[in-house]
Amino acid sequence: MKKETPISENLIKTIHSLVLMGAKKETPYREGQNVIKDGSTGGIVYMPPEAPDVEPLMKGLVSWINDSLRSSELPAPIIAGLAHYQFATIHPYYDGNGRTARLLTTFILHRTGYGMNGIYSLEEYYAKNLQAYYKALTIGKSHNYYGGRAEADVTPFLEYFLSGMAISFKNVREKAQEMNMEQRIQTLPRQTEKLRLLSPQQRQALSLFMKQKEISIQDISQHLGLKNRSSYGLLKKWLYEGFIKIGNTSRKARTYMLSNDWEQLIRNQDLEL
């Protein structure tokens, strides 16, 4: 889909078809009532609008999205978040509503310059915060659409949605900084035997030390994708080799720093610790 593709019901129906069947064709809206139940208790979580109301509600949603994008009165992320919420509220299909809503949201963000060439995804944020996602969507005094859902305060969902964008963008920035640091490490002058003998994990650790002067065992575990036990073994080895030194000596809050020699060597290369 090109950036110029207008937001339309046909587009949404095609997105749903791709989500549900992997086929590029339009799927019609549901013709009957749909009920969302709690998988563990069987209780009704949400009863969306009746089938005859789906089409006019979807027409209204599409019209609102396009009008809002043209007027630019609202920031694009707000438009995307509200579009996501309203699509989930209308629940125009029996299945695949959540995935379709998220793809529609992504498309709006790409259209408005927030796509970052596809190098970030909100799906990871949703996956890690799934219960919070469903809780944020559960708004209103009643589980029935006609019981006040349309007039409910959507602030909680917008807060959840925009927090996800902020976290995702922050992760992209940190990853870019990390890659830049690692690239700079790779291009350091090779005049010292030390640099040539660094292991890949030590090079990765250097990029972490460039972001923060002291690190914990949890920091290195997350950075290298290791369990704490494996990280402890590495840190113990690096202490013995003189690559690092202990910062905070407390057992409960122990931290590690680059040894004086390594810190000086990196500073001499105009890299910031």
Residue 179 is assigned to a structural domain of this protein: no
| 92 in the same domain as 194 | no
Range with the poorest average pLDDT among 8-22, 137-151, 204-218, 222-236? 137-151
Q: Which domain holds residue 55?
A: 9-171
| 252 in the same domain as 119 | no
Q: What is the pLDDT of residues 144-183, one digit of tens each?
A: 888 877 778 888 889 988 888 888 777 777 776 666 666 6
pLDDT for 272 equals 46
User: In the predicted model, is pLDDT for residue 60 greater than 90?
Assistant: yes
Q: 0.75 exceeded by the pTM? A: no
Residue 181 is assigned to a structural domain of this protein: no
pLDDT for 188 equals 57
Q: What is the mean pLDDT of the chain?
A: 82
Q: Is the model more confident about 193 or about 102? A: 102
Residue 1 is assigned to a structural domain of this protein: no
Which of these three, 140, 171, 202, is where a domain ends?
171
| 194 in the same domain as 162 | no
Give the pLDDT band (50/70/90) at residue 2.
very low
| 162 in the same domain as 68 | yes
| 238 in the same domain as 115 | no
| 104 in the same domain as 40 | yes
* Cα–Cα distance, 43 to 244 (Å, whole number): 56
Give the pLDDT band (50/70/90) at residue 191.
very low
| 128 in the same domain as 36 | yes
Residue 37 is assigned to a structural domain of this protein: yes
Range with the poorest average pLDDT among 95-109, 120-134, 254-268? 120-134
Cα 269 to Cα 186, 233, 238, distances in angstroms: 12, 29, 21
Range with the poorest average pLDDT among 130-134, 166-170, 254-258? 130-134
Which of these three, 171, 206, 236, is where a domain ends?
171
| 142 in the same domain as 76 | yes
pLDDT for 65 equals 96
| 114 in the same domain as 149 | yes
244-246/256-258 β-pairing: antiparallel
Give the pLDDT band (50/70/90) at residue 267.
low
Residue 183 is assigned to a structural domain of this protein: no
| 237 in the same domain as 209 | yes
| 196 in the same domain as 64 | no
Residues 227-247 have a mean pLDDT of 91
Q: What is the pLDDT of residues 69-104, one digit of tens each?
A: 999 899 999 999 999 999 999 999 999 998 899 889
Residue 178 is assigned to a structural domain of this protein: no
Q: Amino acid letter at 233? A: G
Q: Count up the domains in the chain and report the number.
A: 2
